[in-house]
């Protein structure tokens, strides 16, 4: 049967890739809940939907305006209608801004998540509530990688607020038996990302022969590194989780170190790359030399972490990993961005 899915932050960067995936591969009806601020951009949805049949879109996708800092009142709930699945992607996600305005992130990521969880409790026969967390809740790791059940050690207000939302989701699963899944996603990139983010910024600066500044350690010799992952691969992972055989999952899943049974999943790119290597490859894709400077962001900007790393072995054991290499995905995004310059221009 066709499912009815509520996606919060549906006009945001990651969520619009999830919507694209569902429109292409399911007959599900989708409600996008968004407050349409700097992160939620209807132009992003409009641009993506040009590749879909307009009649199909109009019958399956609708947008409801709401800011989750406020409870979902009766009118909003009625407007949303019946729901089988909730994907909670709405969040404040800018580390710099969280350092300057921490309460904004508490309101968005802790209070907002609680309001949505409270609404989820009212839904009869809810099939799944997926909370999109982040690798940053685990903090920095200089060697090795974190598993799904490593202790949370957030190091800035953004990651602390996401950790707070995650713990609330786990608590609602434990206390109220909400069918919660938690996903930890690493640095996501792809078409229509905000131009301030590292990869679109690098593409633009290389194109314009500008200097790319590389986040490094205090010796300015070791660049920061990440496991980058394409938005379409994140969407593919979420679709995989929504179709997971939960009886099979119970056989292989181990409860959290504190005894919480809420399943958690790391959604990770195939390979680690440091930001200098990445910038050089972006330049190579444009047949240009890279102009760059190493700068010590880590010491001058407290709360910024040099290296994040998650283990993707659990998802791999269940049968999912990205289908394409990082270099294939980067080349694809560079080519797309150069053909669609409005999305990388500031």
Residues of the chain falling short of pLDDT 70: 1, 38-40, 297-304
What count of other Cβ atoms lies within 10 Å of the Cβ of residue 324? 14
Catalytic residue among 20, 34, 84, 158: 158
What per-residue confidence (pLDDT) applies to 220? 87
Is the Cα torsion angle 200, 206, 209, 210 positive or negative in sign?
A: positive
Residues 164-175 have pLDDT tens digits of: 999 999 999 999
What per-residue confidence (pLDDT) applies to 239? 97
What per-residue confidence (pLDDT) applies to 341? 97
Report pTM.
Answer: 0.94
């685990």: which residue's tokens?
Answer: 138
What per-residue confidence (pLDDT) applies to 252? 84
176 counts as catalytic = no
Catalytic residue among 34, 84, 108, 136: 136
Catalytic residue among 34, 84, 135, 148: 135
Sequence-ordered list of residues with C-beta below 8 angstroms from that of 1, at least 6 positions apart, any chain = none
> Which tokens hold the place of 297?
């962001």
Please give the full DSSP string across 238-249, using - where no structure is assigned.
Answer: HHHHHT--HHHH
Q: How many alpha carbons lie under 13 Å from residue 59 in its C-beta half-sphere? A: 8
> Which tokens hold the place of 291?
């102009």
> Which tokens hold the place of 44?
């992003």
Instruction: Judge contact between 42 and 19, C-beta under 8 A.
Output: no
131 counts as catalytic = no
What per-residue confidence (pLDDT) applies to 161? 98
Instruction: Judge contact between 262 and 184, C-beta under 8 A.
Output: no
Euclidean distance between CA atoms 78 and 256, whole angstroms: 36
Is the Cα torsion angle 115, 121, 123, 126 positive or negative in sign?
A: positive
What per-residue confidence (pLDDT) applies to 267? 97
What per-residue confidence (pLDDT) applies to 298? 61
84 counts as catalytic = no
């Amino acid at each position: 049967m066709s499912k009815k899915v509520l996606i919060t932050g549906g006009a945001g960067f990651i969520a619009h890739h999830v919507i694209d995936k569902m429109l292409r591969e399911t007959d599900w009806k989708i409600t996008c809940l968004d407050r349409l601020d700097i992160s939620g951009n209807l132009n992003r949805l409009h641009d993506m939907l040009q590749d879909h049949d307009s009649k199909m879109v109009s019958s399956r996708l609708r947008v409801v305006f709401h800011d989750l800092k406020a409870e979902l009142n009766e009118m909003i709930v009625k407007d949303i209608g019946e729901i089988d699945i909730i994907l909670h992607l709405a969040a404040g996600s800018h580390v710099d801004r969280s350092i300057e305005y921490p309460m904004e992130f508490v309101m968005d990521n802790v209070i907002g998540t609680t309001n949505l969880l409270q609404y989820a409790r009212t839904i009869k026969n809810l099939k799944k509530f997926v909370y999109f967390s982040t690798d940053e809740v685990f903090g920095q790791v200089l060697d090795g990688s974190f598993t799904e059940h490593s202790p949370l050690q957030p190091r800035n207000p953004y990651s602390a607020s996401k950790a707070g939302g995650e713990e609330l989701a786990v608590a609602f699963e434990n206390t109220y038996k909400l069918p919660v899944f938690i996903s930890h996603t690493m640095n996501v990139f792809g078409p229509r990302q905000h131009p301030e983010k590292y990869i679109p910024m690098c593409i633009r600066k290389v194109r314009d022969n500008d200097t790319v500044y590389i986040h490094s350690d205090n010796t300015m010799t070791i660049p920061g590194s990440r496991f980058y992952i394409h938005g379409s691969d994140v969407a593919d992972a979420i679709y995989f989780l929504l179709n997971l055989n939960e009886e099979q999952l119970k056989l292989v899943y181990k409860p959290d170190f504190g005894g919480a049974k809420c399943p958690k999943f790391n959604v990770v790119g195939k390979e680690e790359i440091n930001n200098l290597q990445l910038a050089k490859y972006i330049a190579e894709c444009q047949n240009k030399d890279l102009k760059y400077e190493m700068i010590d962001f880590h010491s001058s900007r407290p709360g910024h972490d040099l290296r994040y790393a998650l283990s993707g072995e659990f998802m791999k054991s269940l049968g999912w990993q990205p289908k394409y290499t990082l270099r294939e995905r980067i080349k694809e995004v560079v080519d797309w961005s150069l053909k669609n310059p409005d999305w990388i221009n500031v």
